[in-house]
Structure 1
Amino acid sequence: MHTEPVDDRAKANEAPARDVPAPDAIVGRRREIAALRGWLRSAGGGAGRLVLCTGEAGIGKTRLARELAGMVLAGGCAVAWGRCAETEGAPAFWPWRQALRSLGVDPDGVLGRGEAQSPQDRFRVFEGVADAVGGIAAQGGLTVVLDDIHRADESSLLVLRHLADQVADARLLLLATFRDREPAGALARVLPDLLRSPAAVRLDLRGFDLAEVSEQLRHMTASGTEVAASDGDSAAAADDADADADGAEMTASATARLVLEVTAGNPLFVREIGRAVVEGTWRPEQPPRTVLDAVGARLDRVGPRCRRLLQAAAVAGRRFGIALVAAVVGEPVEECLRLADEAVAHGLLDRLGAGEFQFVHVLTRDAVEASLAGPEAASLHRAAATALADRFADDPAEHLADIARHWAQLAPYGAAEAEAARVWTARAADEAVRRLGHEEGARLYRAALTFGQTSTTDTERCHLLVALGRASYLAGDLPGCLDAAARAAEAARAAGRPDLLAHAALVLEAAPGQDVNALAHRLCEEALARLGAATAATATAATATAAEDPRSPTVALRARLLAQRAHLAFYAGEQDQLASQSTEALTLARRCGDDHALTDALRARQEACPGPAGREERLGLATEMLALSRRTNSARTAMWGELWRIEALVESGQLPAAAEELAGLRAAVEQVGGPVSAWHRDRATACVAQARGRYAEALAAGRRGFDRMRVIEPAPASGAYMALTYALACHLGFGAGTGVGSGFSAGAGSGAEAVLRQTFEPPPRFRAMAPLTRAAMFLIAGQPEAAAATYELAGPPSSWSLPAFFVLPGWVYAVLTVAGLVTAGLGRADELDGLLERLQAFRGEHASGGGVSYLGPVELALGRGALALGRLDQAVDDLTTAAGSAGRAGAPGFAAQARYHLATALLARGAPGDRDLAVAAARDADRVAQVLGMTAYTDRTSALVADLCDAGTPFGVRPPTDVHLPASVDGSAVVDGPAAAEPVPDPGEEMLSPRERQVARLVAEGLTNRQIAARLVISERTAQNHVQHILTKLGFRARSQIAAWVVRNSRDEQRMSMPAE
C-alpha cells in the first residue's frame, strides 16, 4: 500500500472545500473499507456515526480517511477536513476553524470571540458548530474528518463530544483519527465520553501481514525483479530467464519477510524501506531500527543547504510557507524554492500550492528536527519567533501561540528569553480565552507561570494566577480555580496589594458551590478588611473623616466584593446578611459609577428581594438593569432585566403585560446566544403560557428548555421542569396524549411514571421543597398513600427551610397536598388548619414559582383547603375571590378551576340560591375547560353540568348538598383502596357494602365509571352496577346526591371526632 499521508492541497489556514481521493490504490484494509461504506450508507439515511480510528504512527489512519473522502465525493456529498497541529502553537478550536472554512462557513462568525461570564456561555460555540455542520449535513449529507485528535486542544475535543451526542439523528459521518499510544492529556479526559456515545464506534488499525507487505513493496517498484536485484546476489547467480524469475520471486519473498520483521507491518516504515530498495540503498544486513532512522538516512543524502532549509521548516511546523522559512534561514525566496524542490525529489516534502509545502509525514518532520543540535535548534527558534512577530505585527492573534512556542524553547537560555516566553505565552493565553478556548487558555497560563520564576514579581504572578483562576472556572475546573485563587491571594499579600487580593476573591464570584463557598467567603472578608484599612491609612488627618472619593477604584472593588458576599449569603440561606450587604453594595455601585460593579450589585440586590414583599423593588431593579443595558449595549444585562420584569409581572397577576415583555427577552437572548440564555427564554415563555392556559405552547417551550439545559446544569433544569410539570398536570393530568412529564425518562410507561421515577438530588435549599413537590405529584397520579408517605419526608412544617423566593409557592404546595390527603380520608385535618393559617398572610397575592410556573391566586388554595375541612362559607368566599382574581389576571384556566370548586362548595353548602349560583359556575367552568382542553377537568365539569341540569331530579332524603368533591390538589386524583377511617354510622350506611362505600367516595371525588373501574381494577360494567346499587339502596336518582351524602357523613365524622370543651 502506498501510505503517503493524506493532506490538503491548500494553505494550512485555507483548507480546501473538498479533498480529492488518493490517486493510488489502497493496499489491504478491505474489512475497514467495508465497514466505512456501511457507516456511510447509514449516515446518508439519517443515522449518523462517530468513527474513532486509532493506531500507531504511520499505520495508515490518514490514508484510510483519504479513501473514505474519495467514496464520499464520488457519491456527490461534501467532505470537510480539520487537521490538528503536530506541534504546539495552533489557536484554540484550530481543527474546527479549518473544517468550517472548508465548508464555506466563516469560522469567526461561528466561533467568534467575547467575554464569557460562566462555563455555560461557551456552549453557544458548541451549538454554533453543531448548527453549522448539521445544517449542511441536512442538505445532502456531510462527512467531517478530524485528523490526529491526540494533538487537539481540549476545547476542540469538547466540540466533538457535543456533536457526538447529536450525530445519531443526522446525515453526518464524523471520522476522528488518533494514535492509540498517545491518548494522554486532553484526549485521555474526553475519550471515554466519546466512546460512550451511542453513535460511536472504534476502528483499530493493525500492521500489514506478509501478503500486504509484499503487495506494498511491489507497488513501489517497477517489478518483482527490481526487488530481487536490490538484494545483491540473485541477479548475478541467474543463468537463464526461468532461473532469474524463480530467484527473483524467492528473493522478493525473503525481502518481504525481512521487511515485515523489521517494520512489524507498519505501512509508513514499509514505504521508507521500499523507497530505499528503489534507490538501491537498502542493506538487509543493516536494516534501520525505526522510521526515524530510515528518514535520517535519506536526509543525509540531500545537500547541506537543503538540509538547513528542511531543519528550519521542521522548526516552523509540518506545514509551512516558503516565505517564512526564507526569513528564518536568511535566503532569498527563489533560492529556497529551488531547495524545497530538491527535498520534494528526495521524498521528504510534498508541494501543496504556490509557495506552500509540508513534510510527507509528521514522523518525517520529527526525524528532521531530531537531527538538530541544541545551539542550531535555539538559533532557528529565535529566528522563527522574530520572523513571525515581524510578519504578522499588525494582526498577530492567530500566531501568538506559535510565537510563544518558539520562545518557550529558548526560555532555558537566559533571563531575557524566559521573560519573552512568559509575556508571549500570557498573550497567547489571553487570546485563547477571548476565543472561548478556556482549557487552552488555562494550559498556557500555567506554562507562563513556569518561565522566569525567580525574576517574576509577586504582582506579575498574581495577575497570571487571577487569569488562570478565571480560565479554570470557565473551563469547568473548580479545583483548578480554587487552587489558582488561593495562590493569587498569597501573591497579593506578598505584594502588599489589597486591590489584587480583591481580584483574587472575585475569581470565585460565579461559583458558589459548597467547596468554593468557604474560600470565597474568607477571601471576600479579608479583601474587604484590607481595602478598608488601606483607605484609612492613606487618608490625611484633614480628610480622615471625609467621604471616600466615589470614583476611586477601591469603591468599585468594595461594591463588587459586597455583591459577591451577598451572593454567597443567598446560596447559604443567610437572608439578613444578603439584605444588608446587597443594600450596601448597590449604594456603593451607584455612587462610583462603575458599570461592572453596578451589574453585580443589581443582581445581588434582586436576590435579596424575594416574594410579594420585594416585588415593587424588583420591578425597579429591572428597570435600572434595562437602562444599564442600553447604556452599555449589553445584551446579557438586558436579558436579566427582562427576566426580572417578567417574573415580577407574573407574580403580580399581570399576565398580558408579562407576555408583551417576552419579545424583548427573545431579542436579548438572540444576541447573547448559547443554550443557557435560550433556557432562560424557554422557561419564562413556558411559565407565561402555562399561566394563560396555552398548554401546548407551554409544553413545547418547557420541553425544549429542559432538553437544552439538562446536559449542562441538570439540577436547575430538572427542578424548573418539575415545577412546570406539576403546574401543567394540575389542569391536564397525566393521561395519554397530554405530553405532561415527557422528556423525563425514556421507556416509562406513562407521564406520571416518568415524573415519579425522577431521583435527582436537589440543592440544599430545596431539600424541603423536593418531597412536597413529589407528594403533590403522587396525588395527581392517583396515589394518595404514596403522597402521604412522601410528604412525611419533609418533616413537620415548623422545621421547613424554604428558599426565600419559594416561600409562597412552598406553602401553596403544602396546602394543596394536605387538602388532598384530608379529602382522601388520610387525616391531617389539624395540620391543614395550621397551614391555612400560615397562608392567610398572602391573601390577595398570586403564587408563582420563581419564574418557572404559576399556581394561581392564593385564595384558590385557601378555598380548596377550607372546602376539604368542610368550612363551606369560607370556601365559597375564597373561591369566588379566586375566580375573579384569576379572570382579571388573564389566567382563564385558573378561573375555570376556581369556578368548578366553587360549584362544589355551593352545592355542599345548600343555602338558598346556592344551586343557581352553582349551575352558573359549573357552566362557566365547563365552557372554559372544554375550550382550553383542560383534560384533568373536562370530564368532571361536563358530568357536574349534566347532573345539575337534569330536570326533575329529586334530592332524596338529604338536604340539597349534592357535590362533586375532588380528592386531590388538582381535581384529577383518585383514591386507591378503602378510606383510613370509617364514617359515622348513617341510616343508609349499614345498607352499603364496604366496596359500595369505597365506590361512593370515588363518586364524590367526581370520577366517572371508567375512572372508577381503572382505579379499582374492575370492569366498567361492574363499576356501573355498583353505582346503580348505591342509588337504589339510598333512594337517590343522581350521582350528585351520592356525593352530597358522602360529604355530609364526612362533616358528621369531623364533628364527632372533635374533643369536648
Structure 2
Amino acid sequence: ALAAAESEADPVALVDALRARQLACCAPEGLAERTALAARMLEAADALGSAWVEMWGRLWRIDTLFETGQLRLVQRELTGLGSCLDRLSSPVGRWHYLEGAATLALATGRFADAVRLAREGFKLSSDMGHPAAIGGLSVILSQSCLHVGLDQSGLAEMYDLIPAHLRPEAVDTTQGVATIFPALTLTLIRLFQGDRAGAGTAYALAGPIRSWTPSPAMRMAAWGHALPAAIGLGRTRDIEFLAERFEPFRGQHVANGAGSGTYMGPVELQLGLAAAALGHLDAAVEDLAAAVTTCDANGARGYAVQARVEFATALARRQAPGDLDEAAAVLDAAASEAGQLGMVPFTSRIGLLRARLPAATAARSPLSPRELEVARLVARGLTNKQIGQALYVSERTAENHVQHILVKLGFSNRSQIAAWSSEWRATDA
C-alpha cells in the first residue's frame, strides 16, 4: 500500500499508507523503520500544511526517542507538539501530549509531575469515553510505584477505578491488546503490601507467560512490567523467558512502539535484573554497570539510582577482589540522589545494604564517630533534647547531627536511622 501510494504521488493516500505501515512496524524490531517513517510523515505534513499529520509525525518521533533513550530530545518534540495542538484543539492530541509528558517526567525522576500529568490525562480521556483511559493512568503509576513506593504513587487507589470488565479475573489474557496488565498491576500491589500469596494468585490470573499476546507495540512494556513480578515471586522459568525476549534488543530502551506511557530504562537494566535473579552474577555486574553509564548519560535519574543499587547488590553478592569496596562507593553515589528524588524504597535498601556489607568494609562507615553515636541514640528512641543531654551538647547541635545523618544516608526520617543503626551494630559486632 505504501509503495502504491508513492507511485501515485497522492499525498493523502501516502499519509494513510504511512500510518498503516507505522502500525505494522510497531514491534521493537521495527524501530529503525519507524524512525524513518516519522521523518516522512513530517515531510508530508509540510507538503499538506496539515497540523493533524504533523501531530502524528511528532508522536511517532517521540516514541522512537524514548526507545533510543534520547530523553533530552523528547522535550523538544513535546514543545513542537504543543504548538501543533494549539492549531488543532484536539482532545485526542492533548491526551497523547499529556501521556508523553508524564512518561518523560517519570523517566527523568520527576515522579510527582508524572502522577499529576497522568491523572490529568485520565480525566481528559475519561471525559471522552476513551477505553484506554484507566490503562494510561495505570501504566504510569505502576512504574512510579517501583521507584517511590505504593503509598506515594497512589497505585492501590487507582486499582479501585478499574472497571469490572477489565479486572484480571474477568479478562481472557489470550485476547485483546493489553489484557495482562491488570493482573500484573495487582501482583505488584500485593508484593508491595507483603502479601506474597496474594501476589501469586494475581500473577496466575495473567495466564502462563508463554500464552501472552500483547500488541506488538506493547511487547517491551509487557516484559518490563512482568519482570519485577516474576523476580518478586521467584519464578525462575519466567525470568529466563523474559531475559531471552530482551536479549536481542541490547542498546534499546524499554518503551512502547506506538504511543507513550512506558519508559523503564535501558534494556541492559532489565537484563541485569534478570541475571542477578538467576544467580548469574558476572553477567549481572556487567549489564548493571552498563545501565548505570547509560542512565547517567541520558538523564534517567530514577533508573540511575535503581541501576546503582542493583549493581552494588550484585557486587556484594559476588565478592570478587575489590567488589565490596566498589559496592560501598556505588551506594554512596546513589544515596543522596535517592533522597532528593524521594525514592523511599531505595533509600531504605541503601541503608540496609550498607549495614550488611561484610565486616571487611565496616571501617567504611559513611558516618563520623560522633554521628555513629548519635545514630545509636536515635535507635534508642531519644529525642534531640535527650541526645543533647546525653552528649553534653545543645539541642540544636543534636538536631544538626541528625540532619547530617539523614543527608549522608539518603534517609527521610528517624525510624530509618534507627533501622540502619541496628543493622550496622550487628555487622560491626
Q: How far apart, CA to CA, are the structure 2 residues paired with 1:628 and 1:658?
A: 21
Give the CA deviation at 1:829. 2.3
Of 183, 208, 211 in structure 2, the residue corresponding to residue 771 of structure 1 is 183
- 1:882 corresponds to 2:291: yes
Of 308, 314, 323 in structure 2, the residue corresponding to residue 905 of structure 1 is 314
Conservation of the 8 A alpha-carbon contact between 1:635 and 1:671: yes
- 1:658 corresponds to 2:67: no
Q: How far apart, CA to CA, are the structure 1 residues paired with 2:281 and 2:414?
A: 27
Of 939, 948, 956 in structure 1, the residue corresponding to residue 348 of structure 2 is 939
The 3-state SS of whatever aligns with 1:847 is strand
Q: How far apart, CA to CA, are the structure 1 residues paired with 2:83 and 2:45?
A: 13
Conservation of the 8 A alpha-carbon contact between 1:812 and 1:839: no
Q: How far apart, CA to CA, are the structure 2 residues paired with 1:605 and 1:949?
A: 56
Give, as a single letter, the amino acid of the residue that structure 2 aligns with 1:615: L
Conservation of the 8 A alpha-carbon contact between 1:863 and 1:879: yes
Q: How far apart, CA to CA, are the structure 2 residues paired with 1:800 and 1:678?
A: 31
Of 812, 824, 827 in structure 1, the residue corresponding to residue 224 of structure 2 is 812
Give the CA deviation at 1:756. 5.4
Q: How far apart, CA to CA, are the structure 2 residues paired with 1:605 and 1:619?
A: 12
The 3-state SS of whatever aligns with 1:610 is coil
Give the CA deviation at 1:641. 0.7
| Structure 1 residues 680 and 753, CA gap change in structure 2 (3 angstroms) | closer
- 1:835 corresponds to 2:242: yes
Q: How far apart, CA to CA, are the structure 1 residues paired with 2:286 and 2:160?
A: 35
Partner of 1:755: 159
Give, as a single letter, the amino acid of the residue that structure 1 aligns with 2:176: P
Of 683, 690, 697 in structure 1, the residue corresponding to residue 113 of structure 2 is 697
Q: How far apart, CA to CA, are the structure 1 residues paired with 2:192 and 2:355?
A: 24
| Structure 1 residues 954 and 695, CA gap change in structure 2 (3 angstroms) | closer
Q: How far apart, CA to CA, are the structure 2 residues paired with 1:752 and 1:1039?
A: 36
| Structure 1 residues 661 and 1039, CA gap change in structure 2 (3 angstroms) | farther
Give, as a single letter, the amino acid of the residue that structure 2 aligns with 1:766: A
Greater relative contact order (Cα < 8 A, sep 6+): 2
Q: How far apart, CA to CA, are the structure 2 residues paired with 1:832 and 1:1039?
A: 32
Alignment of 1:490-889 (within 5 A): 585-735=1-151, 738=152, 740-741=153-154, 751-755=155-159, 758-759=162-163, 761-762=165-166, 764-822=176-234, 828-849=235-256, 850-889=259-298
| Structure 1 residues 791 and 1039, CA gap change in structure 2 (3 angstroms) | farther
Give the CA deviation at 1:674. 3.3
Partner of 2:333: 924
Give the CA deviation at 1:611. 3.2
Give the CA deviation at 1:935. 2.8
Conservation of the 8 A alpha-carbon contact between 1:752 and 1:781: no
Conservation of the 8 A alpha-carbon contact between 1:769 and 1:802: no
| Structure 1 residues 1040 and 588, CA gap change in structure 2 (3 angstroms) | farther
Give, as a single letter, the amino acid of the residue that structure 2 aligns with 1:871: H
Give the CA deviation at 1:592. 1.7
Per-residue deviation, residues 288-345 of structure 1 (Å, max 9, x unmatched) = xxxxxxxxxxxxxxxxxxxxxxxxxxxxxxxxxxxxxxxxxxxxxxxxxxxxxxxxxx
Q: How far apart, CA to CA, are the structure 2 residues paired with 1:669 and 1:783?
A: 45
Give, as a single letter, the amino acid of the residue that structure 1 aligns with 2:229: T
Give, as a single letter, the amino acid of the residue that structure 2 aligns with 1:886: C
The 3-state SS of whatever aligns with 2:118 is helix
Conservation of the 8 A alpha-carbon contact between 1:718 and 1:760: no
| Structure 1 residues 756 and 843, CA gap change in structure 2 (3 angstroms) | farther
Q: How far apart, CA to CA, are the structure 2 residues paired with 1:761 and 1:846?
A: 32
Give the CA deviation at 1:661. 0.9
| Structure 1 residues 795 and 833, CA gap change in structure 2 (3 angstroms) | same
Conservation of the 8 A alpha-carbon contact between 1:903 and 1:922: yes
Give, as a single letter, the amino acid of the residue that structure 1 aligns with 2:49: N
Conservation of the 8 A alpha-carbon contact between 1:953 and 1:1037: no
Q: How far apart, CA to CA, are the structure 1 residues paired with 2:261 and 2:427?
A: 39
Greater helix content: 2
| Structure 1 residues 622 and 916, CA gap change in structure 2 (3 angstroms) | same
Q: How far apart, CA to CA, are the structure 2 residues paired with 1:778 and 1:812?
A: 18
Give the CA deviation at 1:722. 0.8
Give the CA deviation at 1:675. 2.2
Conservation of the 8 A alpha-carbon contact between 1:730 and 1:780: no
Conservation of the 8 A alpha-carbon contact between 2:358 and 2:427: no
Conservation of the 8 A alpha-carbon contact between 2:325 and 2:361: no
Partner of 2:323: 914
Give the CA deviation at 1:841. 2.3
Alignment of 1:451-466 (within 5 A): none
Give the CA deviation at 1:853. 1.9
Give the CA deviation at 1:861. 1.8
Percent of residue pairs bearing the same amino acid type: 37
Give, as a single letter, the amino acid of the residue that structure 2 aligns with 1:865: A
Give the CA deviation at 1:944. 3.7
Give, as a single letter, the amino acid of the residue that structure 2 aligns with 1:710: S
Give, as a single letter, the amino acid of the residue that structure 2 aligns with 1:933: G
Give the CA deviation at 1:593. 2.4
Per-residue deviation, residues 417-472 of structure 1 (Å, max 9, x unmatched) = xxxxxxxxxxxxxxxxxxxxxxxxxxxxxxxxxxxxxxxxxxxxxxxxxxxxxxxx
Q: How far apart, CA to CA, are the structure 1 residues paired with 2:22 and 2:133?
A: 21
Q: How far apart, CA to CA, are the structure 1 residues paired with 2:33 and 2:237?
A: 37
Calculate the TM-score normalised by the size of structure 1. Answer: 0.33
Conservation of the 8 A alpha-carbon contact between 1:929 and 1:938: yes
| Structure 1 residues 611 and 924, CA gap change in structure 2 (3 angstroms) | farther
Partner of 1:964: none
Q: How far apart, CA to CA, are the structure 1 residues paired with 2:363 and 2:425?
A: 7
Partner of 2:381: none
Conservation of the 8 A alpha-carbon contact between 1:690 and 1:698: yes
Give, as a single letter, the amino acid of the residue that structure 2 aligns with 1:775: T
Give, as a single letter, the amino acid of the residue that structure 2 aligns with 1:903: A
Per-residue deviation, residues 268-293 of structure 1 (Å, max 9, x unmatched) = xxxxxxxxxxxxxxxxxxxxxxxxxx
Conservation of the 8 A alpha-carbon contact between 1:756 and 1:774: no
Give the CA deviation at 1:856. 0.9
Per-residue deviation, residues 845-871 of structure 1 (Å, max 9, x unmatched) = 210134112011122122222222322
Per-residue deviation, residues 907-960 of structure 1 (Å, max 9, x unmatched) = 1111110011101211111122122222332233245446669997389xxxxx
Q: How far apart, CA to CA, are the structure 2 residues paired with 1:857 and 1:756?
A: 31
Give the CA deviation at 1:765. 2.1
Conservation of the 8 A alpha-carbon contact between 2:138 and 2:158: no
Give the CA deviation at 1:666. 0.4
Conservation of the 8 A alpha-carbon contact between 1:808 and 1:842: no
| Structure 1 residues 667 and 760, CA gap change in structure 2 (3 angstroms) | farther
Conservation of the 8 A alpha-carbon contact between 1:756 and 1:777: no
Give the CA deviation at 1:834. 3.2
Q: How far apart, CA to CA, are the structure 2 residues paired with 1:710 and 1:889?
A: 33
The 3-state SS of whatever aligns with 1:883 is helix
- Measured on the aligned residues, the alpha-carbon RMSD in Å equals 3.0
Give the CA deviation at 1:631. 1.8
Conservation of the 8 A alpha-carbon contact between 1:816 and 1:861: no
Per-residue deviation, residues 497-526 of structure 1 (Å, max 9, x unmatched) = xxxxxxxxxxxxxxxxxxxxxxxxxxxxxx
The 3-state SS of whatever aligns with 1:644 is helix
Give, as a single letter, the amino acid of the residue that structure 1 aligns with 2:322: G
Between Structure 1 and Structure 2, how many residues are aligned? 371
Q: How far apart, CA to CA, are the structure 2 residues paired with 1:887 and 1:645?
A: 23
Q: How far apart, CA to CA, are the structure 1 residues paired with 2:305 and 2:361?
A: 27
Conservation of the 8 A alpha-carbon contact between 2:359 and 2:428: no
Conservation of the 8 A alpha-carbon contact between 2:178 and 2:218: no
